[in-house]
Structure 1
Amino acid sequence: MAVIAGLKINELEFRSQMELTTIQKMAAYALPILFAITVHEAAHGYAAKYFGDLTAERMGRITLNPFKHIDPIGTVLLPALSVMLGGILFGWAKPVPVNFANLRRPKQDMLWVALAGPASNFVMALCWGLILARVQVFPLSAQDFLAQMSVAGIQINLVLLVLNLFPLPPLDGGRIAVSLLPMQAAIAFSRIERYGMFILIALLFTGILGAILSPVLRFFQHLLATLVM
């Protein structure tokens, strides 16, 4: 499940020296947001298919077509307002349907299906980082805008990565925790899912979520910077 939330855009360490208008800033963020969410959801679908569940494929959701994954409010309106206002980045996409009972080893394979989304975000952050580190090879007229787009790609994907690994159902981290816990504990923990989004929103707006995730985000920022240098 692709959810973007919990961290202020202006707290991230990657920055461009370019001053953009609101329209330019929205344009620079649009493509990275669409790619981040689309690939994240498609990765869940591909992993589910690999491990035996064809639900997403039958519903046409294993695709890189962003229109199959966009939620008008969660994917477009809220992230756009976040970018314009420079506040808390918050949004979501339509989750790819997965019937975990169809997986060959439901409890064990759940881990890999859940992990596929955040893993795809790290790969995309790495790609944007490589572009940013080598932006000088592009035409001079495109360098500033491409640098800002790369910064946006790094920000969005690292936030998606870190947030979705948070161990709270229905986030990917919650699925991973259910997969790793002993059966009885996993069943009890999975019951939190019906309240998961309410808990997430409460943690977000009280600042607790940011305090928990910021050190993890900084770790991945430093890791990414080391890899692309």
Structure 2
Amino acid sequence: MRLDSDLAPFTAAHVSAAAPEHGHARNSPNPPSETPVGQHTAPSWEPEWEFFSLAVWRQAQHETINVKPGWDDEDLVRELKKAYDGLRAWRRLLSLKGPRYAPFPLGDESFIYPQRIGSRRITAHRTLRVQFLLKHPERMRGKRDLMRALTRRPDVGIEFVEQWQVWRVAALVFMLAFSSMLIAIVTSIRLNDWSTGFAIGGFFAQMFAVILVAIGFVHYEEL
């Protein structure tokens, strides 16, 4: 048994497409050729478990969610976001990164880092979909495509892979540039010497640049 390599997170169409491989659509009243494009017939949701332990990964750290049968995809996404924020801890307030995509890896703790399954090709629409649905989980209300995908195998979890957030980096750069300019102007007025004031402002600009490089290095090392 394998997890479909094209199974994209938060994508109902891909979850539906992977179902025949695991026997969920063998008795479907409509063969795939008769199903209208963009539609699929979801099987009834009657799980046999009382709760399902789902591992949520961020780098080498993970947290376990006890998924309940009564949840829909909205409930699951809210819990996934809560678990992700918990894994980030204080980094959530200072980090310049955010979620990029969420593959389904093997959740064996002996791997230290989760082992991803299938293709690593990431498209822009998958990245944008993950970011949007984490902010608007209500868009998945009443659906159970993600619930089926994530509870299909007990040895598979979900991993949040991060990337630089452009707006956060831009905001930090703008704030530091504005601060160095403000320091230069205030110092020039107080000393009545524009040359010295802007020399001091240039010193602070260089110091801020070193801070940005240090931040980038820390993120690169995944500390």
* TM-score after normalising by structure 1: 0.28
* TM-score after normalising by structure 2: 0.29
More helix by share: 1
More strand by share: 2
